Chain A
Amino acid sequence: MSAAHATGDAFATTVTASGGPVPSTVEDEAVRGTTRPPTRKIGWGHTLRRDWVLYAMALVPVLFLLVFRYIPMFGNIIAFRRFRPGGSIIGDEWVGMRYVELFLNDPNFWNVFGNTVILGGLTLLFCFPLPIVLALLLNEVRQRAFKRVVQSISYLPHFLSVVIVVGMVMQLLSLQGTVNQLIEAFGGEAIPFLQRSEWFRTVYVGSEIWQTVGWGTILYLAALTTVDSSLYEAARIDGANRWRQTWHVTLPGIRPTMITLLILNIGLFLNVGFEKVLLLYNPLTYSTGDVVSTYLYRVGLVSNNFSYATAIGLFQAIIGLVMILSANFLSRRVVGASLW
């Protein structure tokens, strides 16, 4: 089986999604509950006798998920209960919506919420379309060796720890760094970028682009190989030049991939790189750099207001969940492609 053929098959399900009805997937069933009526009735006793090994194999991993994923989910109950550090994991007494009201009336919260939306929006605006552009440009490269080198180099930043990335950013943007050397060479004055709140967003988004643009092309490049070459043939016969071929054949061909990734990006919109912001910001840049997750980190773990921070975190998680569900729902309704 040829390689290109294999990737073609791999994407077949996604590609057909734009046309016909949404293909039913496993996750699909899992989320909505079983859709198929049970074909046969067998008692649990029989099932257990036959498959107990499988259940035993799943036991530890499932216990792991219950302890490390689900207990924290229920631990969110301390958003509504007073929590004493070192006390019970589910808090001591009910306080109702007190903490929710507290943050809804907290001007700091709305400030960081605004920052989060702006930073998330800017990231989406740049980090979503740029990989598509890069993938299209790479797709026009005919020397395979050159293409491969460019790919390898542009993927590299993805594998670095965020600590290293921030370290590099700080070196490059320091007063003696390359960027300021260039500014001074052109007669400007050195800018302490990391101490200026008006530069924070640029720095953050810029480093985010550097780190993600290459890696982001992978799925698009894969999708591009599946575009039916007879469509290009037909377009050429109709007199379409390369640009029109790209517009009318290539882009529609990778549309399902674009939509899938857009949904994912929208769902993760509010999770703006918490770790990167935490490493990159400082009190001088709080006014633009502080986001919901870093704010709740400081409120919760630096100032020890566990319940208050949990209320904020729960609010953020629910918004995230709602956003990904509605993005998925909208795209299923409007364009007929969805994650599940």
Chain B
Amino acid sequence: MVTQSALTAPSSGGGMSIGPRDSKGYKAFTWFNGSFLVVLCGFMLYPFVTVLAQSFSSAGAVKAGLVNVVPIGFNVDTYRVVIANDLFWSSYRNTVVYTLVGTTIAMVLTTLLAYVLARKALRGRNVLIGIAVFTMFFNGGLIPNYVLIQTLGLKNTMWAVVLPGAISVFNLLVMKSFFENMPSELEEAAKVDGLGWWGIFRRIVLPLSKAVLATMILFYSVAIWNDWFAAFLYLDKQELFPVTLYLRNMIAGASSTASQGAAAAGSTKEAISANIQAVTMILTIIPILCIYPFVQRYFVSGIMLGSVKG
């Protein structure tokens, strides 16, 4: 039960109760602390605000370095330009597809294995756990992975992006400990009613695990949404790129123009891409921001689950 309630537990316990006798020094500290945290939040948010302001500003203003917090020469033309771009849309669509497919595969594999590993009486369980846990501490490395994907003929297919990350051992262990902490009476009762392992899994365990399943779905989908490197490594065709790689190429292009013409007055190309870059960044972040309230709550509880050992 512990983990189940930990899953819904808010992260803060409200601090500790403190007696009425706070020294003057402590009061001063409280003020300092509050102001410090406000400033910190400013630092945390500033990059977002700047990018947002730039995305609504005129190209000229961005190029001249006038835009910091408030948009200058407010317009939404840049959004129109980006949205009208076919390559942007195909990348965005790819990201959505990769995220859906990848998350589905990952969830199926992780849930199945976690359920099996949570059967404490299962013979060979420790070997299976060992197989999974060892991959956390030693991994094949860049080149052997690349050779594998190439040999399997997955290069330039969606599967190169979607498959390799399918089981995150951390997520697996979190889920396993959740399943282990389910009351065993439920299982016993189901057995008496004649349900097999699969029946127990489908009819009893899954319906009772909605919270942990939601957490895992978010873990996986955010990871796949944000990933760019697998695509960078394994995909050569532009029409397969996810939006993160599209953005990366845009940024890399802009920065190489910048370093080439370092002092020699910034070209217009650079200014345009600073603008378009900002819009692309915003459009890439938006889905994450939209689900952020849920993501945050579930992520926190997921991390807490993960800290329950064994």
- Give chain A's interface residues, CB within 8 Å of chain B: 1, 3-7, 9-11, 13-14, 23, 25-31, 33-34, 42, 44, 47, 51, 53-55, 57-58, 60-62, 64-76, 78, 83, 86, 89, 134, 137-142, 144, 146-157, 159-164, 166-172, 174-178, 180-181, 192, 194-195, 210, 214, 218-219, 221-222, 224-225, 227, 229, 232, 236, 241-242, 267, 275, 278-279, 282, 284, 293, 296-297, 300-301, 306, 309-310, 313-314, 316-317, 320-321, 324-325
Contacts and interface: CB of A to CB of B under 8 A. Distances in A.
B136 to A, nearest CB: 9
Contact of A163 (B116, B128, B248): B248
Contact of B1 (A1, A51, A232): A1
Interface string B154-166: 0000000001101
A26 B129 contact: yes
Interface string B116-145: 110100110011111111110111111111
Given A31-B130, A137-B33, A219 B142 contact: no
Contact of B143 (A47, A153, A300): A300
Contacts, number: 343
A11 B137 contact: no
B167 A65 contact: yes
Interface residues of B, number: 124
A331 B266 CA distance: 54
Contacts of B277: 167, 171
A89 B148 contact: yes
Interface of B: 1-3, 5-6, 8-19, 22-23, 25-26, 29-30, 33-34, 36-37, 40-41, 43-48, 50-51, 54, 63-65, 68, 109-110, 112-113, 115-117, 119, 122-123, 126-135, 137-148, 150-151, 163-164, 166-167, 173, 196-198, 201, 222, 225-229, 233, 244-245, 247-248, 251-252, 254-256, 258-259, 262, 266, 274, 277-278, 281, 284-285, 288, 292, 295-296, 299-300, 303-305, 307-310
Contacts of A57: 112-113, 115-116, 197-198, 201
A143 to B, nearest CB: 8
B135 A65 contact: yes
Contacts of B23: 241-242
A78 B147 contact: yes
A201 B222 CA distance: 28
A25 B309 contact: yes
B30 A317 contact: no
Contacts of A170: 251, 254-255
B141 A68 contact: no
Contacts of B307: 10-11, 14, 219, 222
A10 B6 contact: yes
A21 to B, nearest CB: 14
A60 B303 contact: no
Given A54-B122, A168-B51, A210-B43, A68 B133 contact: no
Given A9-B2, A27-B310, A141 B15 contact: yes
A17 to B, nearest CB: 9
B11 A151 contact: yes
* SS of B interface (majority): helix
B44 A157 contact: yes
Given A195-B259, A221-B11, A229-B16, A172 B244 contact: no
A267 B138 CA distance: 11
A313 B143 contact: yes
Contacts of B141: 72, 76, 310, 313-314, 316-317
Sorted nearest first, the 10 A-B pairs with minimum C-beta distance are: A72-B140, A176-B65, A225-B13, A75-B144, A313-B141, A161-B226, A61-B113, A6-B5, A72-B144, A3-B9
A309 B137 contact: no
B116 A76 contact: no
A151 B293 CA distance: 12
B72 to A, nearest CB: 13
A224 B278 contact: no
